[in-house]
């Protein structure tokens, strides 16, 4: 059985790509001498690795635009037309073993599923993680549903979150849903909210971080911010401080783009790495004294929340068939909630000492 492969980056921590969208974009300018030809037939010739079903689904989902406008498969392509196509990434020839893994399904209909992924679960099988992944569980769950055709699983991932990030993922069950959702991710119209605990308190209670994100030139396992835009891909994160605990704070992040490790890299760049984020230096005391009861408190909180403090809290988008906006919310997982409560209590102690 096969499921659309997100082409995981080759990190040691296989699925370490927070919210990295899984689509590809094509831009084709029709030749001057092109004879009139149906749009679907023209694209079948120009995109030989794309199946007819996938292409038709993309056209129906308005993920194929001619001169900026959606059109029908029967449209006759004309010389110098500019055609853009947004597709989910093509699958690899990788067999995925179905596994009966419990899935926290928040919502499901004929087109899509909403999954609340726990921290510690890898999204897709890859090197050193061929089993126990979300995709292994999805293949098992979906194999007896109408979406299974001749033993091949059609649905797939349109975005992903890191192994140690918890929260919401949308899973497409049909080609139409995949194309429609991919278009929304490409247009940045998906509404995504994350909660994070970060070291320190940002100077501005609200702000926007703009800076290209690309793989670090010093360490391939880490993403770096390139503010001059000379490397990487454009990335925009909007943040808001929800609560302040003097040495840490709870922030809300809304993603305008979805680059690998976007929130983690952007907050590190801002000077406020995520609490207990080992990859970006948040797994040591960055604010406050390094000794005494405070050191013990931080270490105990690390034990309570043994991963980066990041949770995909909400996800909203236009439904592929109803065309209605739907939004889903998820509760904070136990480890995040307990770590947050410890910081609230400690922050209150600090305020009491200061006589606030």
Closest CA to 155 of 88, 85, 60: 88
Q: In whole angstroms, give the CA distance from residue 23 to residue 163.
A: 20
DSSP three-state, residue 348: helix
Going by the DSSP 8-state scheme, the letter that residue 233 receives in this structure is: B
Residues with catalytic roles: 162
For residues 164 and 280, give the distance between their C-alpha atoms in angstroms, rounded to a whole number.
Answer: 13
**CB atoms closer than 10 angstroms to residue 67:** 11
Q: Please name the residues in contact with 188: beta carbons below 8 A apart, sequence gap of 6 or more.
A: 256, 257
Phi first, then psi, for residue 274 (nearest 5°) are -65, 140
Residue of 124, 158, 135 whose CA lies nearest to 9: 124
Separation between Cα atoms, residue 129 and residue 30, nearest integer Å: 43
Question: 56 phi and psi, to 5 degrees?
Answer: -65, -40
In the 8-state DSSP scheme, what is residue 274?
B
* Rounded Cα gap, residues 192 and 117, in angstroms: 15
List Cβ neighbours of 278 (8 Å cut-off, separation of 6 or more). 308
CA 166 to each of CA 13, 104, 121, 161, 335: distance values in angstroms, whole numbers, following the listed order: 15, 12, 9, 8, 10
Cα–Cα distance measured from residue 7 to residue 26, given in angstroms and rounded to the nearest whole number: 18
- CA end-to-end span of the chain, whole Å? 61
Ranges of beta strands (E only) in the chain are 23-29, 37-38, 64-66, 69-70, 76-77, 82-88, 105-108, 112-117, 148-149, 152-153, 156-157, 166-172, 191-199, 206-210, 212-215, 223-226, 236-244, 248-255, 310-318, 325-329
């Amino acid at each position: 059985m096969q499921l659309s492969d997100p082409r995981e980056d080759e990190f040691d921590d296989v699925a370490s790509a927070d919210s990295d969208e899984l689509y590809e974009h094509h831009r084709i300018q029709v030749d001057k001498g092109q004879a009139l030809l149906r749009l679907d037939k023209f694209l079948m010739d120009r995109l030989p690795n794309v199946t007819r079903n996938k292409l038709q689904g993309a056209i129906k989902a308005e993920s194929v635009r001619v001169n900026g406008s959606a059109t029908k498969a029967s449209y006759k392509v004309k010389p110098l037309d500019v055609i853009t196509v947004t597709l989910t990434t093509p699958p690899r020839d990788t067999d995925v073993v179905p596994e009966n893994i419990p899935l926290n399904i928040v919502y499901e209909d004929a087109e899509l599923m909403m999954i609340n992924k726990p921290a510690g679960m890898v999204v897709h099988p890859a090197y050193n993680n061929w089993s126990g992944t979300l995709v292994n569980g999805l293949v098992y769950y979906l194999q007896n549903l109408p979406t299974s055709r001749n033993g091949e699983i059609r649905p797939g991932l349109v975005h992903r979150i890191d192994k140690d990030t918890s929260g919401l993922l949308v899973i497409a069950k049909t080609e139409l849903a995949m194309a429609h959702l991919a278009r929304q991710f490409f247009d940045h119209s998906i509404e995504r909210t994350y909660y994070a605990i970060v070291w320190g308190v940002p100077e501005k209670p609200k702000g926007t971080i703009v800076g290209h994100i690309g793989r670090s030139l010093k360490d391939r396992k880490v993403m770096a911010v390139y503010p001059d835009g000379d490397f990487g891909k454009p990335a925009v994160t909007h943040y808001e401080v929800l609560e302040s605990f003097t040495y840490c704070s709870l922030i809300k992040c809304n993603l305008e783009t979805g680059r690998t490790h976007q929130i983690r890299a952007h907050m590190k760049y801002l000077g406020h790495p995520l609490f207990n984020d080992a990859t970006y230096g948040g797994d040591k005391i960055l604010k406050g004294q390094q000794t005494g009861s405070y050191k013990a408190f931080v270490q105990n909180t690390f034990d309570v929340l043994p991963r980066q403090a990041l949770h995909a809290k909400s996800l909203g988008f236009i439904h592929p068939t109803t065309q209605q906006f739907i939004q889903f919310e998820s509760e904070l997982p136990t480890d995040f909630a307990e770590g947050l409560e410890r910081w609230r209590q400690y922050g209150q102690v600090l305020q009491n000492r200061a006589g606030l």
